[in-house]
Amino acid sequence: MKLRINFIASLLFLSFASACTASESPDDGDLIVLNEDKPFAEVHLVMQVSDADPVHYQAALDIANNLTKHYGGPDFVDIQIISFGAGVPMVFAENNNNATRISSLIEHGVRFYVCGNTLDTIERKTGIRPRTLPGIIRVQTGVAFLIDEINRGYLHLHP
């Protein structure tokens, strides 16, 4: 009898534990949609550009382009690029060798963000607020944006 009670108690515990787990995470068949504009995206990636070296700009753009091809097109991969600190010149409108590539990536669904705090600092130090390329989205705090996206489920990459 004691063995039977322990067995029943174990079954109840396992049932309770699996019910708690199921409510905390989706079933394998459920689709998590981080971006409603890309409901079929297999990967959600946020790339950080915070270095002044243009090699890092090129790497981020190359990765965005290569992943779009790898996953079969822009509908199947969700890519965001956030520039902050020393990386903000990547999205400046003036003297930008990457303007055409950035514009093309934007047309293919890659979203580019720039840190407003960094732009504010540049304006305070130089007296001129840098203009950004068309389609660049300003967020007030780039690092906070990055942290929030990682917490939402985006994979983080710092090329």
- Look at residue 41 and tell me whether its pLDDT is greater than 50: yes
Q: What percent of the chain has pLDDT over 70?
A: 80
Q: What one-character-per-residue DSSP string does 65-105 give?
A: HHHHHHTTSGGGEEEEEEE-GGGGGGGBSTT-TTHHHHHHH
Report the 10 Å Cβ neighbour count for 14. Answer: 10
pLDDT at 32: 61
**Taking 70 as the threshold, does the pLDDT of residue 17 lie above it?**
no
Which domains does the chain possess? Answer: 26-157 (3.40.1260.10)
Categorize the per-residue pLDDT at 30 as very low, low, confident or very high, splitting at 50, 70 and 90.
Answer: low
The model's pTM:
0.80
Per-residue pLDDT band for 65 (boundaries 50, 70, 90) equals: very high
Structure tokens at 114: 């720039």
- Confidence at 35, pLDDT banded by 50, 70, 90: confident
What single letter denotes the amino acid at residue 88?
V
pLDDT at 130: 97
Burial class (CB in 10 A: 0-12, 13-18, 19+), 17: exposed
Whole-number Cα distances in Å, 45 to 49, 64, 67, 138: 13, 9, 10, 18
Amino acid identity for residue 130 in this structure? P
- Is pLDDT above 90 for 154? yes
Computed on alpha carbons and rounded to an integer, the radius of gyration of the chain in Å comes to 22
One-letter amino acid at 105 equals L
pLDDT bucket at 139, cuts 50 / 70 / 90: very high
